[in-house]
Structures are given as structure tokens and as C-alpha cells.
Amino acid sequence: MAVLFSCSWADHEAWRTAFAAEIPDLGFRLWPDEIGDPAEIDFALVWAPKRGDLRRYENLRAIFSLGAGVDHVLRDPDLPSEVPLVRLVDPVLTRRMTDYVAHWVMHYHRDFHRFASQQRQAEWREWPTRDRDTRAVGILGLGELGGAAARALARAGFRVAGWSRSAKKIEGVESFVGASALHPFLARTEILVCLLPLTANTEGIIDAHALSALPEGAVVINAARGGHLVEDDLLQALDSGHISGATLDVFRIEPLPGDHPFWHHPAVTITLHVAALNDPRSAAASIAANTRRIRSGHAPGHVVDRTRGY
């Protein structure tokens, strides 16, 4: 009985150590050099698996995503349909995303993006400070990560709303539901945060139409997936001045090509897909709890509905 680990960018040895501490009787196999007998693989921990590879393991009992999103797994048209796909729900990952969102919301709320621009121009100009309860923040997506960020911002005193496919009841957060509510949601949002799962329905959701629906001077924070954003539309909205700033952690092509205009745009801040890096110790504990459930005959938690994509 073994778990297969397949992720090119992760610290393999840190994950091996974390799993040995959590489940010492479960072998740890590293793809592609340590697979051994494919019939011994019971669980797979993956990020962007090679197409068709997961069909090789005839005794596979669960596929675990190494991130909160699963779009990188669902891209495989040969993914075994009978094996449950499980998303990563981990308190450390959630806390890190909340920290990231809270930081950048406060950055824009206090006009630090304007001061950074003024510094480059050696311009001394003050901006009036607004109270948090006058600042409208909107979260696209109220799942595990979006819901946690919305709660934290609401507790901090911001006017928070969330947009989602189904109604959510979160204290202090106004809920907008479905396609017909997207425009009203955007129209009241000064700081837009995207934490949606990437699906066929959310691909390109932040486009010219959505950006024009935001108030003049609004800002955009995308920490979900690059596919949510139509990059050329954002550049045009920034150049026109309708959108005053953007912080982007994710991109359609990663690493972001060196000649991409985002690198040098004065209104864009780039982080390198680091908003919510997982911690092997904490994530391994979460995944191990699910493997124990499966081994004891129970269904795993946080199983993905493949028809919805999350």
C-alpha cells in the first residue's frame, strides 16, 4: 500500500517526511522515478498530472489535489471517473490566503498604491483617509477560501459582499447569487477579490464587461487562477484609468513571460503564485485523515463534484 506523489515544483523530501510522520505504514512513491509496482499505488497526490497517467494505477482509491483548486487535474480527459477526486482543505493554506487578501485589501484601502506611484514621481500629495465601514469589498467566490477571507474582512469592519453560484449565509457579508446578480455585485464593489474555482462558467469572468461594471477607480486582486482574467481587457481598463490598480498572483501562462506588459505596468503589482502555498506538515495531516477514512471503509471528505468543477 502506497501513496504516489506527483508535483514538479514541491519539496519532495518535506512531503515524504510529513507523510512518514502521519502514516508510517503507507509507502511514499515519487513520480516518475520511484513508482515501483503500479498495482501497489492506493492514493495519488498530484499537481497537473500527465495526461492518462492516473489510469495506470488499477487499485487507486482516491486522487488528492495538492491545491485548493482542481482545474489542473480535471484538464486530463482520461482521468479515471470511478476514483474520487478530493480537493485540499487545510487550515494553514486557508489562513495564508486570508492573510494575502487582507494585506492587499488594506493596501488599496489606505491608498498605498497611489503613494507608491507618487514616490516614483517625487510627488508629495495627500489623500483623505476613509473609514473601513465606507469601503465596499467584493469577493468573487465564497467557498472555503473566499468564505474565510470574507469573514475576516467583515470582522475588520469593511462593507463586504460575496458573489457565488448558490446563496451563502455569512455574518456581516451580503450575498449575491447567480449570473443575474453579477452586475449589481460589481457595481457596488470598489475592491474586487477573485477567489473562484476555475470552471467553464468562470473562465474569463473578469473581462471588459465586468471591469466596466466596477466603479471608476476600482481595483482588482486575483489570487484564484489566471484563467479568470482577460489580461488584455485589464490592461485597457488600467490604461484608461477606469481601474486604478491590480494585484495579480496568478496568470494564464506561468511563469509569466519576461516580455509580458504586466511586469512593467505602473498600476500592476505581481506576486508569484504564492498567495496560499501549502505547508507539507499541515496538508499531510489533512490528507492523512482522509486516507484513514477511506481505509476504514468510509467516503472521503471534500470530494469534488466533477460536473461543477469544484
**Stretch 217-236: mean pLDDT:** 98
The predicted-structure confidence for 176-224, as pLDDT tens digits, reads as follows: 999 999 999 999 999 999 999 999 999 999 999 999 999 999 999 999 9
Q: Verify whether residue 273 is a known catalytic residue.
A: yes
Chain region(s) in the chain for CATH 3.40.50.720: 2-90+279-295, 91-270
Over residues 91-101, the mean pLDDT reads 98
Q: What is the mean pLDDT of residues 258-287?
A: 97
Q: By CB neighbour count within 10 A (0-12 exposed, 13-18 middle, 19+ buried), where does 292 fall?
A: middle
pLDDT in the model for residue 242: 98
Q: 125, 273, 292, 295: which is the annotated catalytic residue?
A: 273
Exposure on the CB side of residue 77, measured as CA atoms within 13 A: 0
Q: How many angstroms separate the Cα of 86 from the Cα of each of 74, 194, 286?
A: 11, 22, 11
Q: How far apart are CA 175 and CA 262, in angstroms?
A: 32
What is the mean predicted confidence (pLDDT) over 65-73?
A: 96
91-270: CATH class: alpha beta
Pick the catalytic residue from 132, 225, 228, 292. 225
Phi, psi of 206 (to 5 degrees): -95, 85
* pLDDT confidence of residue 103: 98
Average pLDDT over residues 58-77: 97
pLDDT of residue 171: 97
**Domain 2-90+279-295 -> CATH class:** alpha beta
Q: What is the pLDDT of residues 104-151, one digit of tens each?
A: 999 999 999 999 999 999 999 999 999 999 999 999 999 999 999 999
Query: Residue 301: which pLDDT band, with cuts at 50, 70 and 90?
Result: very high
What's the whole-number mean pLDDT along residues 88-106?
A: 98
Mean per-residue pLDDT, 272-298: 96
pLDDT of residue 12: 95
> What's the pLDDT score for residue 127?
92
Q: How far is CA 48 from CA 28, 29, 52, 104, 285, in A?
A: 19, 17, 11, 28, 22
Is the pTM for the entire model greater than 0.85? yes
225 is catalytic: yes
Mean pLDDT across the chain, nearest whole number? 97
The predicted structure's pLDDT at residue 212:
98
Would you place residue 297 in the very low, low, confident or very high pLDDT band (cuts 50, 70, 90)? very high
